[in-house]
């Protein structure tokens, strides 16, 4: 009888050990799934295209070091992509030291950004789409984004004091951290 009790207890211990091992394997799978989700989320969040000569700051409205948004000019029409917006529409203002970059929205609107009180005059030709503008308090280089969905922020590299090749440092670091987290589990 004592032998039967010891065997039964041994089987119970073995079953508990197996259950713990199964639980750990399940947790490992969950951690791998979470790591993969973080990687995919980062890739999706930074999925907006890069534009030569610009630093892609990612999703949100461009902001200066004080968190202020910039004054803008926006032509009332749609643009096919961020490249066309930056290179063909806004970059013609690139010789102005007050031009800071552009925002390209999910509705395909192109918004050229300028320092406070520095919006250049633009003729509204009867044969061309009209411009709208808004004065705001942003001044100096773009240093961040609001993070609100709807637009992507691109800083004009020539007027920023940074090189466009250094774009996405934050996103690169986030991607590396996500990959490291994934590999740990």
Q: Which of 41-45, 82-86, 112-116, 160-164 has the lowest mean pLDDT?
A: 41-45
Instruction: Return the bridge partners of 10, or none.
Output: none
Contact (Cβ atoms closer than 8 angstroms) between residue 85 and residue 78: no
Residues in the chain: 185
Q: pTM of the predicted model, to two decimals?
A: 0.63
| Cα 66 from Cα 116, distance rounded (Å) | 13
Instruction: Report pLDDT digits (tens) over 53-95.
Output: 999 999 999 999 999 999 999 999 999 999 999 999 999 999 9
Residue 130 contacts by C-beta under 8 Å, 6 or more apart in sequence?
75, 76, 124
Instruction: Report pLDDT digits (tens) over 87-112.
Output: 999 999 999 899 999 999 999 999 99
Q: Which region holds residue 156: left if phi is over 0, alpha if psi is between -120 and 50, else beta?
A: beta
Alpha-carbon distances, residue 83 vs 4, 48, 80, 91 (angstroms): 78, 11, 8, 10
| Cα 21 from Cα 173, distance rounded (Å) | 34
| Cα 174 from Cα 6, distance rounded (Å) | 53
What pLDDT does residue 31 have?
36
- Six token digits for residue 30: 């969950």
């Amino acid at each position: 009888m004592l032998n039967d009790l010891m065997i039964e207890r041994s089987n119970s211990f073995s079953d508990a050990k197996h259950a713990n091992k199964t639980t750990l394997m399940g947790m490992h799978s969950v951690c791998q799934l979470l790591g993969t989700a973080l990687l995919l989320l980062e890739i999706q969040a930074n999925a907006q295209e890069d534009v030569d000569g610009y630093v892609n700051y990612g999703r949100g409205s461009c902001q200066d070091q004080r968190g202020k948004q910039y004054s803008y000019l926006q032509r009332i029409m749609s643009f096919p992509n961020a490249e066309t917006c930056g290179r063909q529409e806004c970059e013609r203002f690139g010789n102005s030291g007050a031009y800071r970059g552009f925002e390209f929205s999910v509705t395909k609107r192109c918004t050229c950004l300028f320092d406070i009180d520095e919006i250049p005059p633009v003729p509204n030709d009867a044969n061309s789409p009209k411009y709208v503008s808004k004065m705001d308090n942003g001044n100096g280089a773009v240093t961040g984004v609001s993070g609100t969905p709807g637009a992507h922020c691109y800083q004009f590299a020539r007027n920023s004091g940074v090189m466009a090749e250094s774009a996405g440092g934050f996103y690169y670091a986030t991607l590396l951290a996500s990959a490291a987290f994934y590999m740990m589990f």
